[in-house]
């Protein structure tokens, strides 16, 4: 028996903070496409259950076309059960205005009041999948009435932040409370990066991460977890599945570097990045005063689906080199040297002043 664990799809996200309006529209459609591709993967690999551990959609006002497309995918694959557990972004449930008879019979729910259990018995093993939706009132008692048969393979679905110890806050999962509960696999949502940890001597807990990165806080491989149950044993593997990947490339800058050196370092950082992906260069270190970061930006325009440069450098000031410089630039640096400012402030003022002297645009 095969099961997919996915979460944090955030379908119909706006994604307009970095992208153009047209790119944002395209990426919204690509997120829906990735869901469809995952369902196709499930069909081809004889997956019995797709577990959605929260945050299927991103916001309350979901496009009707997006909602209908997901419902159509589920309805057209009635040999797969879709177990949908709401997350913190699903406060306005996308099914809330639908009649019960219009909801696909293979789309199954959970609730906040009690544990809901679904049993699957086959020659591969006897499996129980259970879940409960988290709120600020039930977090402290979440595990108190969870009783699982130790003879079965037990999978538990939750959406929230794992914590240890006695912590009082919303959307938390007190992981210590779930140890010794006969759990083989704790399927989690809320963290957008694949991570797994040992739960106890029997099981693990796992965040599958999101299906697609939407911003540069979601860099790296994205996908889902494929769970395989055979001959009464359970195993799992992360499956990279995103249409595009987000990359953050750090470029170390030193005062001696020329623009050719900087661009070469950037090229090295993206040597294995596909053109379809999204790239953010982060420039860190001390620069020479004539270093043109905007030239670096121009050099990569159109190279990837999207690219940007975050300039976090500061200007290195070699005051001795300006002792005998009779230019306006030299006079400006010598004047600044005598001011009672820290080096970081001087660096920022020098950078702005030199740009003004050279006739460059000064960005806010």
Total domains in the fold of the chain:
2
In a domain, 148, yes or no: yes
Q: How much is the pTM?
A: 0.86
Is the domain of 299 the same as that of 177? no
- 208 and 88 in a common domain: yes
φ, ψ dihedrals at 68, nearest 5°: -65, -35
Q: Where does a domain end: 218, 240, 262? A: 240
Name every residue whose Cβ is closer than 8 Å to that of residue 334 and which is 6 or more positions away in sequence. Answer: 319, 322, 323
Do 253 and 174 share a structural domain?
Answer: no
Residue 362 lies in a domain: no
159 and 282, same domain (yes or no): no
Both 24 and 127 in one domain: the answer is: yes
Q: Are 15 and 140 contained in the same domain?
A: yes
- E-strand ranges in the chain read 2-6, 47-53, 81-85, 107-109, 116-122, 125-131, 153-159, 161-163, 172-174, 185-189, 195-198, 204-207, 223-230, 233-240, 246-253, 278-287, 306-315
Q: Are residues 75 and 153 in the same domain?
A: yes
Residues 193 and 342 in one domain: no
> pLDDT tens, position by position, for the chain (364 residues)?
999 999 999 998 888 788 989 999 999 999 999 999 999 999 999 999 999 999 999 876 778 899 999 999 999 999 999 999 998 777 656 777 778 888 899 999 999 889 999 999 989 899 999 999 988 777 766 788 899 999 999 999 999 999 986 655 667 899 999 999 999 999 999 999 999 999 999 999 999 999 999 999 999 999 999 999 999 999 999 999 999 999 999 999 998 888 899 999 999 999 999 999 999 999 999 887 666 878 888 999 999 999 999 988 877 766 666 656 777 767 777 777 777 777 667 667 766 766 666 555 555 5
Same domain flag for 20 and 135:
yes
Residue 263 placed within a domain: yes
Runs of H (alpha helix) within the chain? 21-44, 64-75, 259-269, 293-300, 328-337, 343-357
Kindly state whether residue 363 falls inside one of the protein's structural domains.
Answer: no
Task: Name the average pLDDT for the chain.
Answer: 88
Q: Are residues 201 and 168 both part of a single domain?
A: yes
Look at residues 240, 263, 294 and tell me which one is the last residue of a structural domain: 240
In a domain, 231, yes or no: yes
Q: What pLDDT does 101 receive?
A: 83
Residue with tokens 């469809």: 36
As a whole number of angstroms, the distance between CA 75 and CA 106 comes to 7
Q: In whole angstroms, what separates CA 18 from the centre of its chain?
A: 15
User: 82: domain CATH number?
Assistant: 3.60.21.10
Where a domain ends, among 185, 216, 240?
240
In the chain, the percentage of residues whose pLDDT exceeds 90 is 62
Instruction: Say if residue 221 is in the same domain as residue 319.
Output: no
**pLDDT digit string, tens, across residues 288-313:** 766 687 888 899 999 999 999 998 88
Instruction: Give the pLDDT confidence score for residue 320 in this predicted structure.
Output: 62
Spatial distance between the Cα atoms of 43 and 273, rounded to a whole number of angstroms: 30
pLDDT tens digits along 47-83: 999 999 999 998 767 788 999 999 999 999 999 999 9
Contacts of 100 (CB under 8 A, 6+ apart): none
| Domain ranges, residue 225 | 2-240
Dig out the tokens for 324 from the structure.
């005998």
Q: With contact defined as beta carbons under 8 Å apart, do 244 and 212 qualify?
A: yes
- Rounded Cα distance between 300 and 246, Å, is 15
Same domain for 311 and 201, yes or no, is no
């Amino acid at each position: 028996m095969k099961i997919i664990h996915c979460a944090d799809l955030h379908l119909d996200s706006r994604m307009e903070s970095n992208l153009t309006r047209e790119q944002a529209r395209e990426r919204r459609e690509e997120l829906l496409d990735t869901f469809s591709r995952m369902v196709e993967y499930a069909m081809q690999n004889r997956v019995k259950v797709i577990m959605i551990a929260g945050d299927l959609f991103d916001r309350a006002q979901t496009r009707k076309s997006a909602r209908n497309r997901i419902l159509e995918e589920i309805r057209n694959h009635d040999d797969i059960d879709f177990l949908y557990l709401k997350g913190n972004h699903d406060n306005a449930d996308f099914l809330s205005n639908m009649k019960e008879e219009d909801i696909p019979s293979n789309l199954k729910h959970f609730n906040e009041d009690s544990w809901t259990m679904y049993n699957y018995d086959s020659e591969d093993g006897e499996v129980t999948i259970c879940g409960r939706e988290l709120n600020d009132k039930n977090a402290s008692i979440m595990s108190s009435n969870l009783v699982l048969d130790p003879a079965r393979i037990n999978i538990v679905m939750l959406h929230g932040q794992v914590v240890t110890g006695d912590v009082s806050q919303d959307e938390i999962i007190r992981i210590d409370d779930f140890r010794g509960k006969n759990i083989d696999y704790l399927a989690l949502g809320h963290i957008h990066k694949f991570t797994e940890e040992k739960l106890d001597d029997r099981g693990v807990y796992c965040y599958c991460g999101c299906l697609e990165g939407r911003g540069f806080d979601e860099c790296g491989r994205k996908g889902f977890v494929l769970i395989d149950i055979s001959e009464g044993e359970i195993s799992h593997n992360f499956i990279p599945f995103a249409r595009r990947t987000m990359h953050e490339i750090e470029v170390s800058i030193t005062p001696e570097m020329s623009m050719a050196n900087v661009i070469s370092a950037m090229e090295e950082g993206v040597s294995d990045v596909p053109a379809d992906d999204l790239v953010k260069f982060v420039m860190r270190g001390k620069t020479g005063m004539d270093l043109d970061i905007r030239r670096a930006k121009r050099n990569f325009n159109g190279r990837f689906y999207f690219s940007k440069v975050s300039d976090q450098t500061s200007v290195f000031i070699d005051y001795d080199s300006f002792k005998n410089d009779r230019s306006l630039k030299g006079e400006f640096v010598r004047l600044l040297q005598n001011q009672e400012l820290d080096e970081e402030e001087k660096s920022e003022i020098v950078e702005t002043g030199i740009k003004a002297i050279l006739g460059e645009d000064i960005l806010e």
